Amino acid sequence: MSLLRDPVAWATELTRPEAWVLASSGAFVAVLVGAVAIGALGPTYFLFLVGLAGMYALLSLGLNAQWGFTGLINFSVAAFFGVGAYGSALLTADASPIAGGFSPIAGLVVGLFVALVLALLIGIPTLRLRADYLAIASLGLAEVIRLVVLNERWLTNGSAGLRGIPSFFAGWPVLSSFPETMPGLRITVVPGSPVVLETPFWEAALNVVVIVAFTLGTYAVLRRVHQSPWGRVLRTIRSDEDLARALGKHTYAFKMQSFVLGSLIMALAGVFYTHLNLYVGPGDLDPITTFYVWVAVILGGSGSNRGALFGGITVVTIREGTRFLNDLAIPVDPAPLRLLLIGVLILVVMRYRPQGILPPQRELIWPAARRSTAPATPPQAGDRTQRTTGPTESADKSDADAAAGVTDDGIEDTTGGERDE
Amino acid sequence: MTVLGYVANGLVFSSIIVLGSIGLSLVYSIADFANFAHGDTMTVGAYAALVTFGAVGSLGGAVLGLPYGFFLALFIGVAAGAAVAVVTERLIYEPLSVDSIGLLITSIGVAFVYRAVIQIGFGADFTRFEIGALRPIEWLIPYGIRVTRHDVAIVASAVVLVVGLHLLLQYTDLGRKMRAMADNPTLARVSGIRTRRIRYWTWVIGAGLAAAGGVFLGLFNQLSPRMGFNLLLVIFAAVILGGIGSVYGAMLGGFLIGMINQLTPLLSRLGEVLPLVPDGFGIPIGIEYANAIAFVIMVAVLLARPTGIAGEEAV
């Protein structure tokens, strides 16, 4: 049901977790905007946080395309992210030890290409094997990439990292000089603490535009492919690979495609990070990044793109919140505190809600099929309605058991349902 | 250093890797998941020993340059590792209703909690046991071997533990039950084996050996909250080389990987070391890539023989 066409029906159709997530996200954003308005939170920092949240959401979408869709355990998210970041930084930075000074678009292409090669290299030996082999090998890959970045000074500048990176729109008409040409604004909401918007703010605003475009584009693509026959084969592989093989699917090829797709999305997030942070160092390849993204995906709901978006934002809250906590009240080193929070979150989610907060439900169902059984329309007799009734009905239940059931139903329907197309 | 010197170092390091990989392989075959918290279990053991040794002191006499107090600390470290693992099994893994992949992901959470607690308690810096460093054994130096009596103690203890495990697996009731359960858990259960109890024993043995490995690693190098996690890649490489699920494979894999790890400096001057190879020949790779070599071996094994030397089906 579309939000714009029929908001009331859309609202009543929300499941309880959906309503809860929507309300709490809304409240959270309202608090942050309020903090900006009264001057407690710098507007530029706020936009930096938005960019970071978008970046984690993008990383989570990438991991979701691997783990959520196909069940591939990738523990080298940080490596693909780092390859994207370093690929684009090495090409665009003034201080780059190899090339440098190219357009950010060239950096984007190179970053994605290196990630593609890397994904193939690690996928070829492991994707034919049981799922845990990929987990082990990818953890190793992440470590090796980190070692290379740290030690090959001629290539990556070693532990000093790379500086002098231009913004993403460097060399574009209009947009490259947009932050400088925008006038400085002073907005006084609360007397005495005006909100000042100057060049850094407009730079941050441009970054937000980039990440929103990346994330929404990726979301749209993933949503489409997830519902496509290709996506349904992936879901079948996830729940029963033997079944997919028995149906004549070349599961190795499907797994490889899904793995490469997810890795490219992670590298895209890395490219964005380069132009957001304007500095890339070996610390960015720390394995903790990988597990931030894992928490985001399993918390949001494995296989659910909306969940990945929600999880990404939650993770930024943890990451930046611990820093804030340290500045504000409790003098605890934030590094182990984050580690503890991430660890406890993994344990709690796996124990009490392994399917995540927003498990994939209606998003698995083809929109046309959903419309034909929506309560507003009288049910029509017909082959198509008959076939799609089962999953839709159970999808509308909000409790966890139904959610788990839906996945199974959906998959049974889809594997048989190749005939739909 | 001469070739013999590197081999001697390799022997010490592979004793530690063997202790780690046996435990990982045992848990893999009986609890049926890849335990990513295994490296951090080693760290737990090492820090428990550090605390104990700090509390009890040297306790008089010494064996092989190690005070009695250190052996008490080793014992407490092993007990602590085993206890932590059993509590984790009881509180975390057992109540879960997820498959082995879910357990694998959970074990990452467990690893982070272990490491975070240690880091909050002890800080992120390196520490050492308060045992004076020994000079290398005099009569071995002419051969180019620079090992201390501490290193000898590490190898000897590892041999005792490995032989003990072998006897336990082959000749005791518990060992037979463990092997039965590794083979086929359902069949073991219908035969009247209390599989839950065997799982607890598996954790005790696996985590205990890992903790011993952690204590020795702390003695061989130094202690830091990341020491175990950093070693995890090497241990997994050893287990995959040996074959997942095979304890004896893990011993062999651990020995080979540990040895190659310490022989890395020789790769750049292969020509001088090996006969029939021209003198100038060598693979130019620095010691900083010792762990990367373990990874390359792992990938090669997965390509050529995914079952490893002695493992079960990999598909």
Q: Is A139 within 8 Å of B286 when comparing Cβ atoms? A: no
Tokens of A345: 């979150």
pLDDT given at position A373: 56
Q: Is the dihedral of CA A130, A136, A140, A141 positive or negative?
A: positive
Write down which residue in A356, A378, A397 finishes a domain: A356
Residues 37-66 of chain A whose Cβ lies under 8 A from any Cβ of chain B? none
A182/A323 same-domain check: yes
The DSSP result for A265-297, as a single string, is: HHHHHHHHHHHHHS-B-GGGG-HHHHHHHHHHH
Are residues B101 and A148, on separate chains, in Cβ contact within 8 Å?
A: no
Is residue A420 one of the residues assigned to a domain?
no
Amino acid at B241: L
Does residue A267 fall inside a structural domain?
A: yes
CA within 13 Å, CB half, A315: 33
Task: Kindly report, residue by residue over A136-189, the tens digit of the pLDDT.
Answer: 999 999 999 999 999 988 888 888 888 888 888 877 777 777 777 777 777 776
Q: Which residues have CB under 8 Å from B36's CB, separation 6+?
A: A135, A139, B104, B107, B108, B111, B232
Q: Which among B105, B108, B113 has CB closest to A340?
A: B113
Q: How far apart are CA A266 and CA A116, in angstroms?
A: 11
Which residue does chain B place closest to A131, by CA atoms? B101
User: Span B212-241, mean pLDDT?
Assistant: 93
- Domain check: are A352 and A370 in the same one? no
Q: Is residue A172 part of a domain?
A: yes
The confidence score (pLDDT) of residue A378 equals 45
User: A18 with A61, same domain?
Assistant: no
Is A199 a residue whose pLDDT tops 70? Answer: yes
Q: Which residues contact B95 (CB under 8 A, 6 or more apart)?
A: A351
A264-309 residue pLDDT tens: 999 999 999 999 988 999 989 998 899 999 999 999 888 888 888 8
Q: Express each pLDDT in A51-103 by its tens digit.
A: 999 999 999 999 999 999 999 999 999 999 999 999 999 999 887 777 777 88
Whether residue B286 and residue A151 make contact (CB cut-off 8 A), yes or no, is yes
| Burial zone of B59 (CB within 10 Å; 0-12 exposed, 13-18 middle, 19+ buried) | middle
Which candidate, A219, A222, A216, A221, places its Cα nearest to that of A69?
A: A222
What is residue A303's predicted lDDT score, i.e. its pLDDT? 86
Task: Classify residue A295: in a domain, yes or no.
Answer: yes
Task: Provide the pLDDT confidence category of residue B32 given band limits of 50, 70 and 90.
Answer: confident
Mean pLDDT of chain A: 80
Which of A151, A302, A340, A355 is the best substitution to test chain B (most B C-beta atoms within 10 A)?
Answer: A340
Among B147, B133, B150, which Cα is nearest to B5's?
Answer: B147
Tell me: do A351 and A262 sit in the same domain.
yes
Same domain assignment for residues A134 and A271: yes
| Distance, CA of A187 to CA of B65 (rounded, Å) | 73
Instruction: Give yes or no for residue B79 having a pLDDT over 90.
Output: yes
User: Quick check: is A421 in a domain?
Assistant: no
Please indicate whether residue B85 or residue A377 has the higher confidence score (pLDDT). B85
Output DSSP code: residue B62. E
Do both A137 and A82 map to the same domain?
yes
Q: Domain boundary residue among A330, A356, A382?
A: A356
Residue B59 φ/ψ, nearest 5 degrees? 60, 45
Among A319, A336, A356, the domain-final residue is A356
Same domain assignment for residues A246 and A215 = yes
Amino acid letter, A246: A
Residue A14 banded pLDDT, cuts 50, 70, 90: confident
Closest listed residue to residue B147, CA positions, set B289, B43, B15: B15
- Residue A273 pLDDT: 94
Mutation for testing the A interface, residue in B91, B122, B295, B305 having most A CBs under 10 Å: B295
Alpha helices in chain B (DSSP H): 3-30, 38-56, 68-88, 100-122, 149-171, 173-183, 185-190, 195-220, 227-242, 247-267, 270-273, 290-304
Tens-digit pLDDT profile for residues A231-272:
999 999 998 999 999 999 999 999 999 999 999 999 999 999
Q: Is A412 exposed, middle or buried (0-12, 13-18, 19+ CB in 10 A)?
A: middle
Q: What is the pLDDT of residue A410?
A: 39
Counting one residue from chain A and one from chain B, the pairs whose CB atoms sit within 8 A come to: 134
- SS3 at position B127: strand
Closest-approach residue (CA) in chain A for B226: A336
Judged by CB atoms closer than 8 Å, whether chains meet at B112 and A130 is answered as no
Q: Render pLDDT for A107-122 as a digit per residue (tens, 0 to 9).
A: 999 999 999 999 999 9
CB-CB contact of A133 with B302 (8 Å): yes
Give the per-residue pLDDT at A371. Answer: 61
Task: State chain B's mean pLDDT as an integer.
Answer: 90
The number of folded domains in chain A is 3
Average of per-residue pLDDT across B151-170 = 94
Rounded Cα distance between B104 and B33, Å, is 6
Helix axes B227-242, B195-220, angle to 10 degrees: 120
Are residues A204 and A329 located together in one domain of the fold? yes
Name the residue facing A343 among B101, B109, B314 (closest C-beta): B109
Scanning A348-367 for CB atoms below 8 A from B yields 350-351, 354
Band of residue A2 on the pLDDT scale cut at 50, 70, 90: low
In terms of CA atoms, which chain A residue is nearest residue B106?
A347
Report the pLDDT value the prediction gives residue A192, as an integer from 0 to 100: 66
Domain span at residue A28 reads: 1-37
Is A343 part of the contact surface with chain B (CB cutoff 8 Å)? yes
Q: What is the pLDDT of residue A370?
A: 62
Is the same domain home to A63 and A212?
yes
Kindly report, residue by residue over A362-411, the tens digit of the pLDDT: 666 666 666 665 554 444 444 443 333 333 333 333 333 333 334 433 33
Binding-face residues of B in 154-213 toward A, CB within 8 A:
none
Cα gap A58→A311, rounded to integer Å: 11
State the pairing for strand pair A185-187/A195-197.
antiparallel
- A72 belongs to a structural domain: yes
Statement to judge: residues A336 and A399 lie in one domain: no
Residue range B87-105: mean pLDDT, rounded: 92
- A420, pLDDT greater than 50: no
Asked whether residue A272 falls in the same domain as residue A395, the answer is no
Are A148 and A226 members of one domain?
yes
Domain positions in chain B are 12-225
- Give the integer Cα–Cα distance in Å for A136 and A134: 5
Three-state DSSP at B191 gives: coil
A330 Cβ under 8 Å from any chain B Cβ: no
Of residues A191 and A245, which shows the higher confidence score? A245
The pLDDT, as a whole number, for residue A26 is 84
Give the pLDDT of residue A24: 85
Which pLDDT score is estimated for A337? Answer: 87
pLDDT tens digits, residue range A332-349?
778 888 899 999 999 999
Task: Give the pTM.
Answer: 0.86
**Residue A224 predicted with pLDDT over 70:** yes
